[in-house]
Each structure stands twice: as structure tokens, then as C-alpha cells.
Amino acid sequence: MPAHEVLVVGAGLLGLSAAHFLAKKGLRVAVLEREAPLACTSDKSTECYRVFWPGDEALAALMAHSLELLPPFRPTARPNRRGYLYLGEEAALALLAEKAPHAGPLRVHRQGASYPQGAEEGLDLLRPGALGEAFPYLAHLRGVVGLHVRPAGWLSAQGLGMGLLEAFRTLGGSLLHGEFLGLEQEGGRPRYARVRQGQRETLFPFQALVLAPGPGLPALARALGLDLPLQAEPHFKAWFPDPLGRFPREAPLLIWNAPQEVFTPEEKALLQEEPALTPLLGPLPPGAHGRPEGEGFLALYNPFPKAEAPRACTPLPPPWAGEVALRGLFPLLPGLRAYLGARPRVDGGYYVRTPENRPLLGPVAEGVYLLGAFSGYGVMAALGAGELLARWVTGEELPAYAQALAPGRYQDPTYRPSLEAAQAQL
């Protein structure tokens, strides 16, 4: 009998969550991490969560389950329930709401008076007059409608991760420093993980192996001969200090759900000579978003993410990343123009994703499981995904949505990925 029954590769939020739920089931679990735990993509997120997945009931069920599992981690994860506020055209927002019955009842408001300030469930569609009354700092928006999604907010990803790590250790789990290199077979099935620890290479026997390597997944899948449609897109966020108080401290996550141009005609004329900026000079797709954070605010806008092969945890941001993210918020909060020229703190990571934006969660060979491709939602999905992975390993009953997330879906010749959830990239 090996010293550990399960080896989990990767101590990001996904790996730690799986390790925790496996240890909770009484299995002897080790997590193998080549860097520090929680220092890769899980350290770079916007930390938001939502149970609002228009057109994808499987992802909605996964997120709802994650929220159900959150209470023991509340003290360190400190979730709020401020919601997401989408801003744009009424028809587009009404359609989003219609495709998300899981998010609860839709309440439509013509006046701010009927808007339930502290509601924690459902959706509020705020027609133009109501929007400015409910959110006075948005009163300048003419003809714009708001959709306030309530089962949503943000939390501390580091706090959640540290809570998982502590609970895992309390259950007797161990964290090992080393790098997973590959698999060795015995008796016709994968039986050993080849692991480098310092200068030494060893064979680590396992009964189950969980691969949760974050941005390492595309290369690892290729090395293991797995034919999976995966890509890694760099995404960036910028933190700006807000000494002038231009981003309301009490705001929900604000999302501009309409196309926009971020440069004026005069600015475009000046920038035309810069080939790297050409794609930014035309109309840009919806999706600029931001929220208050500490004494400042976070701004995100990645209009044309271009897939690349990750060489490290963190991609190099283009020089314009912070400014474009800031400009993306101008339609919502014009006062932010005061920060043009400010130097934000910019960082980011990879959205590893499949074409339909669903994760890869389940077996790929006897005793080998993938837990990856969590795109821009791995923080909010971590608890539900780790618990589901533990069910796959122990052979317990699976929820109805498990097959929709399993890598085996691509073996089914009748499987037609729905691209609807792929639009929702936040």
C-alpha cells in the first residue's frame, strides 16, 4: 500500500479543494506543488463569484453547489453579496435574464422606489429612470438599463485557499514540494508519477492521480497524449489608487455590456502609426468591468485575448493594458478620467479554456483525473469542483451535471458544444 493513496498535482485553489474533499473522505492525500501554494493563477483573480450563467445550466449548478459548500470557509473567504450590475441595452439584458432561470425571479422596475436594496436573490432589471434613482452615481447614463444580478459578489481568494490548506492539513494531508514530470505504467494502467524533488527523480505510486496544474494543463495534456481542445488566453487586471473617491466604495461589480470605443477620433489619429494598437482603434466588444478594492479600484478589459503557450504562471502585460482597462470604465464612471496618466498596478494570468468554456473535470485514464480549464471562474467554482472530483475518485453518486463537465464528453460523437456560455468571459 503506498504511503499516499491520492496524489494531487498543483496547489492552486482547484488542487487544494480536491485534496481537501478527498482527505475529508478518509483518503491519504498528498499535494505536489513546484512553486509556492496559491501563488499562480489563483493569486491573480478579481475574486468575483456569480450564480448567473445564461444558457449553461451545468455551470450554474456547479457554482450554486460551490456556494452551498462555502459556509465553513466564510471566516477566511469573507464573501459579500453586492452582486454584478450589467449596464447596456434593455433587449440584450432581458435576454440574458431569460436564459438564466437558475438565478431566481426577475423583478422589473420603472422607478427606484420598488428596487429592493438588500435583496440577496433574484435579478432586478432597472429601466432608465429607476437605474439613476437606485444608483445615483449612474444617473448620467441616458437610455441605459441595468440588470442587477444578486446571487453574486466577491470574496478573498487567498482567504479561501488558506482555509482549504489549513483544513486539508488538519485532516492529515501533506504538501510536497516538487514537480510532476510524467506517468509510468504497471499492469496495463498508470501506476506511478515521475516526480522531481530537488535534484532527485522518484517514482511516486498512486491509486488516484489528480492533475490540477492551472496554466500547465495544455502542455501536460499534450505530453500525456490527450487530445483535448484547450487554449490559454492571457487576461490582465489593473488596480488604481482612488484618492479622489471617483469609484463609489459601495458599488457592486459594474459591467459595461455594450460595444464601445475607448479612443476619441483625435487620439486615434495620433495612434494610427502604432501597429500593436490597431485592433484597439475600432469599436470594442462588451465586457469592460470594475469594482472597488481597498483604497482604489480594479479595472478589467481584455477586448481581444489572443491564445498563447504559457511559459510561466503570469503572462507579460502589454504596455496599454492598464490604460485600456481604465478607459473601458469611462462610460460608467466618467470621473475616472482624472486618472488618465496614473500608473496602475497591472497583473494577470491565463484563462485556460475549452471552446464551450466548460472545465475538464473527471477521469482521462484508469486512476487519472483532470481538474482544469477553469477559464475566468476557477475561484467561484473551486469548492463545487473539488467536491465533484472527489466523488469521481471514490465512485460515489454523481450529480446530473457531472458528465457535461467531464473530459469524456469529447469522445461522444454526438456531443455538440454549446457556445453560449463561451460568450460570458468575465
Ligand X SMILES: Cc1cc2nc3c(=O)[nH]c(=O)nc-3n(C[C@H](O)[C@H](O)[C@H](O)COP(=O)(O)OP(=O)(O)OC[C@H]3O[C@@H](n4cnc5c(N)ncnc54)[C@H](O)[C@@H]3O)c2cc1C
Residue 320 CB partners (closer than 8 Å, separation 6+)? 276, 277, 280
Q: Does 14 bind ligand X (CB under 6 A)?
A: yes
Q: How many residues sit close enough to ligand X to count as binding (CB under 6 A)?
A: 41
Within positions 140 to 199, which residues make up the interface with ligand X, using CB under 6 A? 179-180
Give the nearer residue to ligand X in terms of CB position, either 201 or 412: 201
237, 289, 353, 358: which one binds ligand X (CB under 6 A): 237
Report the distance separating Cα 79 and Cα 88, nearest Å: 27
Report the distance separating Cα 226 and Cα 407, nearest Å: 10
Cross-strand pairs, 256: 87, 288
Q: Compute the least distance from the CB of residue 278 to ligand X, in Å.
A: 24
6, 7, 8, 11: which one binds ligand X (CB under 6 A): 11
Q: Does 5 bind ligand X (CB under 6 A)?
A: no
What DSSP state is assigned to residue 374? Answer: -
Q: Does 354 bind ligand X (CB under 6 A)?
A: no
Within positions 214 to 233, which residues make up the interface with ligand X, using CB under 6 A? 214-216
Ranges of beta strands (E only) in 274-408 are 288-293, 296-300, 345-353, 360-365, 368-372
Beta strands 179-186 and 189-197: pairing type?
A: antiparallel
Give the nearer residue to ligand X in terms of CB position, either 136 or 182: 182
Query: Which DSSP string do the residues of 74-129 spell out, in sequence order?
Result: HHHH------EEEEE-HHHHHHHHHT-GGG--EEEESSGGG--TT--SSEEEE-HH
Report the distance separating Cα 27 and Cα 122, nearest Å: 39
Q: Tell me, residue by residue from 64 to 103, as one string, x for binding to ligand X by CB under 6 A and - for no binding.
A: ----------------------------------------
Q: Compute the least distance from the CB of residue 264 to ligand X, in Å.
A: 27
Q: Tell me, residue by residue from 376 to 415, as one string, x for binding to ligand X by CB under 6 A and - for no binding.
A: xxxxx-----------------------------------
Long-range contact list for 270-277, CB < 8 A, 24+ apart? Answer: 276/318, 276/320, 277/320
Report the distance separating Cα 78 and Cα 43, nearest Å: 16
Q: Does 53 bind ligand X (CB under 6 A)?
A: no
45, 66, 257, 354: which one binds ligand X (CB under 6 A): 45
Residues that bind ligand X (CB under 6 A): 9-15, 32-35, 39-42, 44-49, 179-180, 212-216, 235-237, 313, 348-349, 372, 374, 376-380
